[in-house]
Amino acid sequence: MAGKKKALTNPASPSASASASTPKKSTATSKDRSTPKPRKNPNPKEEAPPPPPANNKRLNPQGGSNRKKKADAGTPSKKPKRQPPEPKPRKHKGAKSEKPHRVSGEGEKPTPTKKKKKKESSKEPKREKQQASAPMSTPSKKNKEAKRDTGGAGKPTPTKRKLGDVDPPQERPSGEGQASSPTPAKKRKDKAAAAEAVADHGAGSFPMARVRQIMRAEDATIRPSNEAVFLINKATEIFLKRFADDAYRNALKDRKKSIVYDNLSTAVCNQKRYKFLSDFVPQKVTAEDALKAPVSSQVNQPQ
């Protein structure tokens, strides 16, 4: 138990340092604020019922995967916050919304599973009504999942519930699978109609946070404005469509109806504008040719 507490406290400090290092990003600070809360909350829960270590080990990776999924799901709700250039009031809003969630968290502990379900249903409209409260609701979800994990008797059922909980937010932003692709498009159109703005041109397809992270992964000194991130988001979308069109034309030249890797590499080699992709989408080389030319093989390895 003590070791677990220490492990929990250790990651808390880097998150605090991360928030200190990047004070300018209000969204980053909000994320850091939300993360330590669920970490602290499960401590008393674990103490009260002493679960066996094997169960804990099994539960840990599930929690990690859930967190990742939540992070992905959380991105679309955060977009509108970032767009208005007023970071200070955002922080205040976050601070205000924190307290009521804590109260609700305390109330959830003694209640049985049925009540938990009801609370879950009640929280969903809250998120819809107030976008500002969306990031704060995620730690409460984590708390619920932790409680379910502690219940050893009902192991299979909580996993199903988790999947059910996670699926709807995933579908909305990403539109997984071919069958589900039309429904999120319709939803987006409805939202656009409600907002009185054309969603096709006004919103980028990729999550803004993800694009920003990719931009900063290579050079941390890059400081893009929201408009710049949006433009790069939109440009990437147009680039993908253009690249797909060129690959399809190459497929037609080969008289085939499917696109394979060679069509992409051929497009990269033929057109000058795709030169920056030559190191990442190279022509395939057979093993024999690679062995015959040791220098070229060394070049191919980093590719």
Partner 1 sequence: MAEAEVEELPKAIVRRLVKEKLAQVAAGGAEVIVNKDAMSAFAESARIFIHYLSATANDMCKESKRQTINADDVLKALDEMEFPEFVEPLNTSLQEFRNKNAARRSETTQKKAEKRRKIDKESLPQEQNDAADHGKTDED
Is residue 3 a contact point for partner 1 (CB under 8 A)? no
Closest distance to partner 1 from the beta carbon of 249 (Å) = 8
Q: Which of 7, 16, 235, 291 binds partner 1 (CB under 8 A)?
A: 235
Q: In Å, how far are 39, 87, 211, 234, 282 from 205, measured between CA atoms?
A: 32, 24, 10, 7, 27
Closest distance to partner 1 from the beta carbon of 178 (Å) = 7
- Write b or e for each residue in 104-115: b if 16 or more Cβ atoms lie within 10 A of its Cβ, otherwise e: bbeebeeeeeee
Distance of CA 262 to the CA centre of its chain: 31
Amino acid in position 108? E
Distance separating alpha carbons of residues 46 and 4, to the nearest angstrom? 10
Tokens describing residue 218: 């290579």
The footprint of partner 1 on residues 213-232 (CB under 8 A) is: 213-228, 230-232
Closest distance to partner 1 from the beta carbon of 75 (Å) = 9
The footprint of partner 1 on residues 133-162 (CB under 8 A) is: none
Angle between the 87-108 and 26-34 helix axes, to the nearest 10 degrees? 10
Closest distance to partner 1 from the beta carbon of 262 (Å) = 9
Alpha helices in 130-179 (DSSP H): 134-150, 156-174
Tokens describing residue 71: 């992070």
Tokens describing residue 265: 């590499």
Q: Which of 42, 59, 207, 266 binds partner 1 (CB under 8 A)?
A: 207
In the bound state with partner 1, the residue whose beta carbon lies nearer, of 113 and 282, is 282
Closest distance to partner 1 from the beta carbon of 159 (Å) = 22
In the bound state with partner 1, the residue whose beta carbon lies nearer, of 100 and 168, is 100
Say if residues 132 and 126 touch (Cβ distance below 8 Å): no
Closest distance to partner 1 from the beta carbon of 294 (Å) = 26
In degrees and rounded to multiples of 5, residue 266 shows phi and psi of -65, -45
Tokens describing residue 257: 């109806």
The footprint of partner 1 on residues 37-56 (CB under 8 A) is: 40, 43-44
Return the range that interacts with partner 1 (CB under 8 A); candidates 140-148, 152-160, 197-205, 293-301: 197-205
The footprint of partner 1 on residues 53-112 (CB under 8 A) is: 72, 80, 83-84, 86, 89, 92-93, 96, 99-100, 102-103, 106
The footprint of partner 1 on residues 239-278 (CB under 8 A) is: 239-241, 243-245, 247-248, 251, 257-261, 263-265, 272-273, 276-277
- Geometric angle at alpha carbon 106, from 100 and 111, rounded to 5°: 125
| Residue 279 DSSP one-character state | T
In the bound state with partner 1, the residue whose beta carbon lies nearer, of 101 and 162, is 101
Closest distance to partner 1 from the beta carbon of 58 (Å) = 23
Is residue 195 a contact point for partner 1 (CB under 8 A)? yes
Distance separating alpha carbons of residues 149 and 162, to the nearest angstrom? 10
